Structure 1
Amino acid sequence: MSGVIPYVVGWSAFGFAVRVVALAIQQRPLLDKPATHALSTVFFGGVGSYVYYLEKRQLELIQKRKQTLLENRRRRREYEEAKAREHAIVT
């Protein structure tokens, strides 16, 4: 669970910063309507959580695919060695 915390905190800080920059561009007080700051922070924290679990799922899929490819490579090598032995016996 500790892996997700930096993602959520980082994206939440980014959401807060986005809201502050938006208010700065509009030349409004930076802490105007604090509920919108909280909403932005929570929304971007959710995005951070989603990104963390998405990355985790993708890494698992990559590892599974890597194992499949390595297994196929091993079987192909065994097949080619058997064919080479068979060819050496015949000639």
Structure 2
Amino acid sequence: MSLLSNIVGFSLFGLAARVGQLGIQKRPLFENPMGHAIAMGTFGFAGYWAYHWDQRAAVLLATKRAEIAERRGKADGTAAST
């Protein structure tokens, strides 16, 4: 998933959360549009952070998998030579 779609998706979820919050409180939805912008910005930043966290985790997992495969290869080579 691309960075832009991740940020937009989280921002729309933030907007939905804000609208849901106002609906529960039975307040007008368009009374304070700045609250919508703040919710969307906050959730958008969370989406930005989640994207980069996912990318970093993928790199760490690939590194760890390579290390495990290397250790298994050495263990198989040692077992086959004895």
- How many equivalent residue pairs? 82
Structure 1: gaps (5+ residues): 84-91
Paired residue type of 1:61: L
SS of alignment partner, residue 28 of structure 1 = coil
TM-score by length of 2: 0.96
Distance (whole Å) between structure 1 residues aligned to residue 8 and residue 2 of structure 2? 11
Q: Equivalent residue for 1:65?
A: 64
1:35 aligned onto 2:25: no
In angstroms, what is the RMSD of aligned CA positions? 1.1
Deviations 1:55-74 (A, max 9, x none): 11111111100000000000
Q: Which has the higher contact order (CA 8 A, sep 6+)?
A: 2
Give the AA of the match of 1:20.
V
Q: Residue 19 of structure 1: CA displacement? A: 0.6
C-alpha distance in structure 2 between counterparts of 1:59 and 1:32, whole Å: 43
Q: TM-score, normalised by structure 1?
A: 0.86
Whole-angstrom distance in 1 between the partners of 2:81 and 2:52: 44
The amino acid that maps onto 1:34 is P
Q: Distance in 2 between matches of 1:31 and 1:44?
A: 19
Residue 8 of structure 1 aligns with an amino acid whose one-letter code is I
In terms of Rg, which structure is larger? 1
Which ranges of structure 2 fall in alignment gaps of 5 or more residues? none
CA distance in 1, matches of 2:59, 2:5: 20
Match in the other structure for 1:86: none
User: What is the alpha-carbon distance in structure 1 between the residues aligned to residue 23 and residue 79 of structure 2?
Assistant: 67
